[in-house]
Amino acid sequence: MNKPATISTNEIPIPNWRFGIPAATPLRDLPTELGEFDVRYALIENENGLIGGIVDLQRVFELLNSDNPTERARWADVAVGSIAEVLVPCGDDLERVDNPFEQPLITTVRDEVGTAAVVVGGETFVNWNRVNAAFQRNHLDPVTEIPGRQSFNRRIREEVARAIRSEQPLAVMLIDLDNFKEVNDRYGHRTGDALLWTVADGLRRAIRSYDFVARIGGDEFAVLCNCCGPESIALPVSRLRESLNLQLSQFTPSQVNVTASIGVAIATQVDECCCAEAIVEQADICLYHAKRSGRNTSFFVDLDPFARPKFAPVELDKPLPRG
């Protein structure tokens, strides 16, 4: 017999009808106002029926009631799983256990550390201290405070699925810092970490509210840019470059010339044959071309439905002057 979890005073009850929303549910199908129960959070079920994250319903309300009609329409089709805070990586380590021997029925939701939520009868109790700790550990990169590689891998799969449904293009940008190792070698890893945080902050400020940025490696970042085809990709790349140029020129010691190389792959005809890994691979090839051509530049390629390039990687822009 499973022992019921102890519910402490810092756990918040949530009505049962907000428990276990499928991750694929579009935002348009969620409540657009908090309602009489003043409920702010809901647990999200992944494709395996396990609890994979938590969504802030106040945020949903704000997105669906934006003053910008284009943003309202864009967010309406986004899956709730795309904006959920992840409890544990991919939900694989999260366990949902039903206990038929206790009355009332008790369901616990726990990860490898401990209990995150408990359902008792018609109420769900969430230990937000526990959830926040798991979120910080698994969702955010500790150095830059933006999502890490695991979150990027999850998000890109969701965005590819969204692009298939909406028949809109998806651009994947890989950004690698040039000469970053020299900063670590000359000034130490503490200065290098501070530079990484500065770069992440610049990227976060430069992207649109519904795009996504993550740190996926030592000095490598990724951006998912929705609804940007070959004819419109120059603007967001230019915006990123300007932000990075400003941040780097203000932070980097004058003895080290840190710049950014960018590789972009655009999936304009996304269908079931196109996988996330193939798009990332093509963006990485473009990044290689940017590095090989002298760095501090951007190369891009347009992909067919099978994620094969329609042409060889081409330079998107000219290097921006430093300072």
| Active-site annotation, residues | 219
Q: Compute the C-alpha angle 93/142/144, nearest 5°.
A: 130
Q: Are 252 and 157 in contact (CB under 8 A)?
A: no
Cα 27 to Cα 81: distance, rounded to the nearest angstrom: 9
What is the separation of C-alpha 275 from the centre of its chain, rounded to a whole number of angstroms?
17
Within 60-122, strands assigned E span 85-86, 95-99, 106-110, 115-120
The structure tokens listed for 170 are: 């998806």
Reduced to 3 states (helix: H, G, I; strand: E, B; else coil), residue 202 is helix
Cα 205 to Cα 246: distance, rounded to the nearest angstrom: 12
Residues written for the chain: 323
| Helical spans, DSSP H, in the chain | 57-64, 69-76, 128-138, 149-166, 180-187, 189-206, 234-251, 276-292
Q: Is the peptide bond before 142 cis (omega within 30 degrees of 0)?
A: no
Q: Is the peptide bond before 104 cis (omega within 30 degrees of 0)?
A: yes
Written as one letter, the residue type at 252 is T
Cα 51 to Cα 20: distance, rounded to the nearest angstrom: 7
Distances from the Cα of 301 to the Cα of 114, 270, 282, angstroms? 46, 14, 8
Which residues, at least 6 apart from 208, have a Cβ–Cβ distance to it below 8 Å? 225, 236
Q: Are 156 and 269 in contact (CB under 8 A)?
A: no
Cα 311 to Cα 132: distance, rounded to the nearest angstrom: 45
